[in-house]
Amino acid sequence: MTETINQAPFKADHVGSLLRPKRIHDARQAYKDEEITYDELFKIETEEIEKIVDKQIEVGLKAVTDGEFRRRFWHTDFMEHLGGFEGYVPESGYSFVGEETEAYNVRNIGQISFDKTHPHVKEFKLFKEIVGDRAVAKQTIPSPNQFFNAGVRNLDIYPDIEKYADDLIKAYQDTILAFYDAGCRYLQFDDVYIAGLNAEEIPFNDSGYDREELIDLALRVVNGVLEVKPEDLVVTTHLCRGNYRSKWAFEGSYAKIAPVLFKKENVDGFFLEYDDDRSGDFKPLDEIPNGGAAVVLGLFTSKHGELEDKALIKERIEEAAQYVPKEQLRLSPQCGFASTHHGNILTEDEQWEKLRYIVQLADELL
């Protein structure tokens, strides 16, 4: 089969995570209970990843992910394996609307660096082999900005947030080059932290910086990382307002961050949440330069299985096209289907039908 040309983000794309099948949940529990070995768990995960790669290609997606099947959480599994950090269980989880998340987080315990043995890089190599030349293998990792959440930085090790930022930039530069050397040509930064900067009151702030200074810092960090980006590596940012068992954490438009981040962040595309009223209007898209980053409109919710009305999707695309040329627009769900191992409240069949529907409407409407 001819290799898929990397024109990511594609007309129909998706954020990354997929519902874990029962076999993976059962295997994880069996491993926890010491009934199977880690190697046996890894083999089961690999077999399930092979199945969902085939399924993504079957529904028509040109970029496929491993569904984040080896992770418990979309961010902590990566973060705790960066040099200078560890995972731990805090007293409480994050507060979402209607629910508190399972308690787990990361904290800074030393100087920040990229660990060359990071498991995500090894896992990507195998994933890339599974995909072969049938599609573009997409890798998702948390944005470096996720490390600015309060409680992550150790103020005794890094009293100066700018030094902390500099070391994060260097570690992430090494990260993206390691993924590139492993064959990755489509990398996505997932960023809930930036959504928090757009909230009426900034949560999780222990920096001493105000909103404008934090937005500027977030921009400098991502652009600093991207200074080493190879020309043929596509990097996108997903701006997420939280996704946990079909619940969300933040609401509001992108208006406060758009003049800086939309206008100046040197990524190839933005995955944006526009699946309901809490997302705000499309006016902030006016800050994205014409001919610049692609805008992946998350008009389809991953939080439930009901398919969106085609007429409404068409209407919303035309509305967004008032601010961004239509040729820059793409379609996707607003977030992944399982940002954590718990998954959103819908069935696997509904998940696949929604992805198939997105491919169909993208072909028809864009």
Write the pLDDT tens digit of every residue in 210-235. Answer: 889 999 999 999 999 999 999 999 99
> The tokens 């060359």 sit on which residue?
116
Q: What is the pLDDT of residue 5?
A: 63
Q: What is the pLDDT of residue 100?
A: 60
Residue 338 has pLDDT above 80, yes or no: yes
**In Å, how far from its chain's centre is CA 321?**
24
Q: What is the pLDDT of residue 342?
A: 81
Is-contact 296 9, C-beta < 8 A?
yes
**In Å, how far from its chain's centre is CA 364?**
26
Q: What is the pLDDT of residue 203?
A: 61
- Residue 137 lies in domain: 22-365
C-alpha–C-alpha distance, residues 187 and 138, integer Å:
6
Q: 329 by DSSP, 3-state: which?
A: strand
Residue 210: count of CB within 10 angstroms of its CB: 10
Residue 127 has pLDDT above 90, yes or no: yes
Write the pLDDT tens digit of every residue in 196-210. Answer: 788 777 766 677 888
How confident is residue 112, by pLDDT bands cut at 50, 70 and 90?
Answer: very high
In a domain, 15, yes or no: no
In a domain, 5, yes or no: no
pLDDT > 90: percent of the chain: 75
In a domain, 1, yes or no: no
Give the mean pLDDT of the chain. 91
Residue 248 has pLDDT above 90, yes or no: no
In a domain, 170, yes or no: yes
In a domain, 3, yes or no: no
Write the pLDDT tens digit of every residue in 65-85. Answer: 999 999 988 788 999 999 999
Query: What would the mean pLDDT of 241-245 be, rounded to a whole number?
Result: 60
Residue 298: count of CB within 10 angstroms of its CB: 25
In a domain, 4, yes or no: no
Q: CA 93 → CA 90, 106, 304, 329, 343, distances in Å?
A: 7, 12, 23, 35, 16
Counting the structural domains of the chain, the total is 1
How confident is residue 1, by pLDDT bands cut at 50, 70 and 90?
Answer: very low
Q: What is the pLDDT of residue 2?
A: 44
pLDDT > 70: percent of the chain: 90
**Could you tell me the CATH number of the domain that includes residue 329?**
3.20.20.210
Residue 246 has pLDDT above 70, yes or no: no
In a domain, 114, yes or no: yes
Is-contact 140 65, C-beta < 8 A?
yes
Write the pLDDT tens digit of every residue in 155-191. Answer: 999 999 999 999 999 999 999 999 999 999 999 999 9
Residue 192 has pLDDT above 90, yes or no: no
In a domain, 8, yes or no: no
